[in-house]
Amino acid sequence: MEKIAAILIAAHFIGDYFLQPDKMVRNKRLPLMLILHGAIHAGTTWLLLQLWHNWQAPLAVFLLHTIIDLIKQRLGKANTATFITDQTAHLFSLLMLAMLLSQGANGATFTGFGYQLMIGFAGFIATVRGAGFLVTFITRELTIKNNLRFEGLQNGETLIGQLERGLIFLFFLAGHPESIGFLLAAKSILRFEESKKAKQGEYILIGTLLSFSAAIALSSATLWAMRL
């Protein structure tokens, strides 16, 4: 069951954070766009599972993912709470589906190829892009509540966050997680002047800890899944 669950979750991360362009995110309220997004998830699941004669799993993913996303659209504005609720619902539904597939009449097991590559790629995408959404939602709310204004490159913080999480993932993959300390020290030195101001310093600290914590957690989970 563990491998089936890992592949279903990998397909979810690839579908949500790699095969979903910004245009699709903005227009997901349109029925056609929502259906297309669900179909992409179903197709990705079918390709990664490599259970070529099993159509029930992709169909279940299509229905579950589309329904959950439809409910999220009805909840209103995207924020931290809706993001966490949405992703929790998706992951829970995939775990239940993996259990049903593994305990069904045929007892589905993964016998395909490229397992570690698929899990590694999905984990990288989740770490670099997926975690960024959570960090962005939380820091954006802090910015609004505290009336903070920052001058810098457009999307500069987003790119910096993606780069640092990508490096953390590669450090784990290479077996040198201790290198994260050097990355943290380098970032602290580069942002030393900004951190002197109380609000900005706290904002930077919160954002950094969120980004690093998410990257460490997802990198560790990816390595664990790759060893199944």
**Cα–Cα dist 3/8, whole Å:** 9
Residue at a domain's end among 50, 76, 110: 110
| Domain-located, residue 116 | no
Residue at a domain's end among 77, 110, 143: 110
How far, CA to CA in Å, does 184 sit from each of 164, 175, 204?
A: 9, 18, 12
Same domain, 85 and 180: no
- How much is the pTM? 0.89
Same domain, 92 and 166: no
CB atoms within 10 A of CB 1: 16
Average pLDDT of the residues in 60-78: 90
Residue bearing the bigger pLDDT, 24 or 199: 24
Which pLDDT belongs to residue 102?
Answer: 84
Number of domains in the chain: 2
Residue at a domain's end among 51, 85, 110: 110
**Cα–Cα dist 35/21, whole Å:** 15
- Containing domain of residue 24, as a range? 2-110
Listed in sequence order, the DSSP H helices in the chain are 2-17, 22-26, 31-49, 56-75, 80-103, 115-125, 131-145, 156-173, 180-190, 198-226
Same domain, 105 and 167: no
Same domain, 51 and 142: no
User: Which tens digits make up the pLDDT trace of 125-168?
Assistant: 999 999 999 999 998 888 888 777 776 677 778 898 999 999 99
Q: Which residues contact 44 (CB under 8 A, 6 or more apart)?
A: 11, 14, 15, 19
| Domain-located, residue 115 | no
Same domain, 147 and 174: yes
| Domain-located, residue 13 | yes
